[in-house]
């Protein structure tokens, strides 16, 4: 990438990505396009505390799936920053690290934290919300449905990116694999092949 003439505009899109799917990739690309971001980072959660109700696929495997899915998408990059840091995953720590890492001679980066509308409405309950407010503009992904119209609490700087409804989720994909059903077009072909080769999700507990 050539030396930028102004501070970098970086999108930060965190998730478990278990597995990543078209909804993730389409959302990231749409936010990047709408806000004219230099890049959007898909930040794979190392130890997602909010998923403690189920067994989560190892972080390195989830990162590999993201890498397969975005191999031909120049606008997106994966980030292993939370894997390298280890321990529980807190977005505030990640933003602080990225604020330092993406400094250029033109100044510190402009960080854009990309979240769904339901998550945006609860930002005051996240760990270290003042850090999030200070370092990032919130990007609210709004889809038709129950979450439409939800916004961050008062005092948060945010933008809204409207998306079409895409009825796909990691749970749907995991359950379809466990049931022997096809997942083609719910996630990129390279991710489908990786899931098949690694025999992921074939023996889900409680299925």
| Cis amide leading into 19 (omega within 30) | yes
Q: What CATH number should be reported for the domain holding residue 123?
A: 3.40.50.620
Percent of the chain with pLDDT over 70: 92
Average pLDDT, stretch 15-36? 97
Distance CA 106, CA 8 (A): 8
Angle at 186 between CA 183 and CA 190, to 5 degrees: 80
Residue 4: the pLDDT is 62
Query: What long-range pairs does 81-87 form, CB within 8 A, spacing at least 24?
Result: 81/43, 82/14, 82/43, 82/44, 82/45, 82/46, 83/44, 83/46, 83/59, 85/46, 86/46, 86/47, 87/46, 87/47
In a domain, 124, yes or no: yes
- Is 30 a domain residue? yes
Render pLDDT for 78-131 as a digit per residue (tens, 0 to 9): 999 999 998 887 899 999 999 999 999 999 999 999 999 999 999 999 999 999
Give the structural domain span for 126. Answer: 9-167
Output the pLDDT for position 51: 55
Total domain count for the chain?
1
53-63: pLDDT as tens digits: 678 999 999 99
Q: For residue 70, tell me if it sits in a domain.
A: yes
Average pLDDT, the chain: 92
Classify residue 13: in a domain, yes or no. Answer: yes
As given in the structure block, the two tokens for residue 40 are 């959007």
Q: What is the pTM (predicted TM-score) of this model?
A: 0.91
């Amino acid at each position: 990438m050539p030396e930028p003439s102004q501070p970098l505009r970086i999108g930060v899109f965190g998730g478990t990505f278990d597995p990543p799917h078209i909804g993730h990739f389409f959302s990231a690309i749409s936010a990047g396009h709408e806000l004219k971001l230099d890049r959007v980072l898909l930040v794979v959660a190392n130890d997602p505390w909010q998923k403690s109700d189920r067994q989560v696929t190892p972080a390195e495997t989830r990162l590999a799936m993201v890498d397969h899915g975005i191999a031909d998408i120049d606008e997106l990059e994966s980030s292993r920053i939370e894997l390298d840091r280890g321990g529980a995953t807190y977005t505030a720590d990640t933003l602080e690290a990225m604020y330092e890492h993406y400094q250029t001679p033109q100044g510190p980066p402009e960080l854009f934290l990309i979240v769904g509308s339901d998550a945006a409405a609860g930002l005051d309950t996240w760990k270290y919300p003042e850090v999030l407010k200070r370092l990032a503009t919130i990007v609210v992904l709004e889809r038709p449905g129950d979450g439409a119209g939800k916004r961050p609490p008062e005092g948060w700087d945010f933008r809204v990116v409207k998306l079409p409804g895409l009825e796909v989720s990691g749970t749907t994909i995991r359950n379809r694999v466990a049931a022997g059903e096809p997942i083609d077009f719910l996630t990129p072909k390279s991710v489908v092949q990786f899931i098949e080769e690694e025999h992921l999700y074939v023996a889900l507990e409680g299925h």
